[in-house]
Structure 1
């Protein structure tokens, strides 16, 4: 007999063992990713002292997503997401360890960083949609909204913690340790993925169709669905005009505010506080006794 799950519980999705393994691993890994992201922009600025070259680095990092994302989505539908995530997360771990090694050996330079930016962009093009769609398999339709809210909470909590830690480490220890800790953080994700049991079969319906047909079908659906189309346009506007903080904040910190690495980290962390508040609201919305439910939930899931 299936266990009853209270969908009104703000942390209901964590009662799913598979989702809990995934979520805990992401808790650790996302902090590591923000450690690396914070250090990367500061490293590029330190090496080049050029706003244009910092912008070029970030542009190269996201260019693969612009050209490959449609194909990546179709490819992901044809393969087991768990297996894909094990591959992409392992590759991201290797990149992080390589970066830390090159920094500690003082071999790192701007052209090498451009190669790593391109590699990160290609890997993330497959990793991000696979991770996001994997949540559906882990939580199911009933708990999907709660699982998405918890993922957002996870991401934005890391946005607060990660850059603050990175700023302190950059100032007192050095850049290499940020990348090394990020590499270690992927171990938690990989352990969680190996513990998850959802089967390794891809979606049978998509396997029989061609990739180009999948892409055209997705574009047609987006065009005909007004809500999705408006959402896509909004995301486009945000990405073009708002999501440039990786370029602007290190420059603003160093040349306008005249702050050091710690100031840069805390400035980045402050951006996550508002987003974290929104994610908490989504998790706890309409929960009249949310704190009592949190206590009861923790005692149920972690006896």
Structure 2
């Protein structure tokens, strides 16, 4: 090889996206920040249970307060992501999160914390996340380009779930020894790493779409409406998210009310779930193209079956194993749906489409948390897991039937008739059915 050093093996392996300097900086900042966030999630849940006498309903309402703003503001956040500099938006969002986290930490350390303050912090964080999440997801494509997007997206899920393994386990130890205050303080400090790494990036190396934003929120929604290959995975994500992905609510109650364990064991359950999620993220890192609709549907069905099994776990060790498998299935499904949507969307619409994906995936948690809290209060946490898994399984079956019906309709429409050849518009319909972008 002449002229320059040989390319490193990282370019050809599952970590090939890390060859991009901006993405390396991005991952460096996110690993520490997301670890702090997951430590905060455990501390916040434990704080709510301590303040309310183990109220599952109160925990559900705090979770709803955190994810509720996503229902109201995420589409606007996606519009901002398509219109403005994503790197600067991320900096503003992380600075705001740091201020809010520091305020809650001070309340805890001074002993002045009240339940309404936890509600206020959760709501504030939800407002910030309604802009940060679609901006961060669409920013990945600008850092690495379309060729490395599947790998970079999977690695983003990998560091997220690595943090979800380390964060809760560490939080359980810290809470047992020192209480929730130090965890809140560490989370506030962790945002500074993100700010530094964003500052060190090279803006000239970002791959900003030359088309820019086309229209507003309604144009983004029309783009999705005209793409059946995007509608099906988004509908499936909606039902799975509302009923089957409420583990932030069910895991602490499973640990405390079913198996009667302490914060350390709660951290272990969450870490097991996250370990399985990490394994799935590393598996999907080898993906090089857009997954098929069948992959999305089958992964949702597997998730449903495993969640039903986890709900019926006979003991704590079995729950650890089944929750690890469930975590693996949940991330594999989420990544398959995310890649199918993101890789089928034009760059100029990506922020708004991913905002819609975020609205469905996370914003629906508001409704799901309240429903799950009511089911837990009425039937118990085991029943909520089993019912959630059953809904995911039925949604997968329905999505499969919908796609078969649509494919049959396209085939019938494309078949030549006695009156002549098919309409010139039919090849375009076939392109949409196969998931190709215009």
Query: Which range, TM-score by smaller chain?
Result: 0.7 to 0.9
> How many angstroms apart in 1 are the aligned matches of 2:158 and 2:209?
29
- Over the aligned positions, Cα root-mean-square deviation in angstroms equals 2.2
Runs ≥4 residues deviating over 4 A: 1-7, 199-207
Instruction: Report the alpha carbon displacement of residue 285 of structure 1 after superposing the two structures with TM.
Output: 6.5
1:202–1:214 CA distance, 2 compared to 1 (3 A): farther
> For residues 172-183 of structure 1, what are the structure 2 equivalents within 5 Å?
172-183=177-188
Match of 1:170 in 2: 175
What residue number does 1:291 align with? none
Aligned residues of 1:138 and 1:198 also touching (Cα < 8 A): no
For 2:56 and 2:251, locate their aligned partners in 1 and report how far apart those are by CA, in whole Å.
Answer: 11
The alpha carbon displacement at 1:152 in A equals: 1.1
Q: Distance in 2 between matches of 1:144 and 1:204?
A: 17
Partner residue in 1 for 2:257: 255
Whether the 8 Å CA contact 1:78–1:202 is kept in 2: the answer is: no
State whether residues 35 and 164 of structure 2, in contact with CA within 8 Å, keep that contact through their aligned partners in structure 1: yes
Residue of 100, 103, 106 corresponding to 1:101: 106
Q: Does 2:34 align with 1:30?
A: yes
Q: SS at the partner of 1:54?
A: helix
Structure 1: unaligned runs, 5 residues or longer: 287-303
Q: Residue 142 of structure 1 aligns to a residue in which SS?
A: helix
Q: Out of 1, 4, 8, which is 2:12 matched to?
A: 8
Structure 2: distance between partners of 1:154 and 1:119: 25
Query: 1:145, 1:54 → 2: CA distance?
Result: 35
- The equivalent of 2:24 in structure 1 is 20
Q: Which runs of 5+ in 2 are unaligned?
A: 289-438
Give the Cα separation in 2 of the matches to 1:198 and 1:2: 24
CA contact (8 A) 2:168 2:267 kept: yes
Task: Please say which structure displays the higher CA radius of gyration.
Answer: 2
What do the CA deviations read for 1:151-204 (whole angstroms, capped 9, x no partner)? Answer: 111111111111100111111111011111111211211111000112599867
SS in 1 for 2:285: helix
- State how 1:271-282 maps to structure 2 within 5 Å: 271-282=273-284
Shift, 1:205, TM fit:
4.7
> What aligned pairs does 1:108-123 form with structure 2 within 5 A after superposition?
108-123=113-128
Normalised by the length of structure 2, the TM-score is 0.61
1:128-207 → structure 2 map (5 Å cutoff): 128-198=133-203, 205-206=211-212
3-state SS, counterpart of residue 143 of structure 2: helix
Distance 1:280 1:204 in 2: 32
Deviations 1:220-257 (A, max 9, x none): 12122222111211211121112212222222222221
CA shift at 1:144, angstroms? 1.2
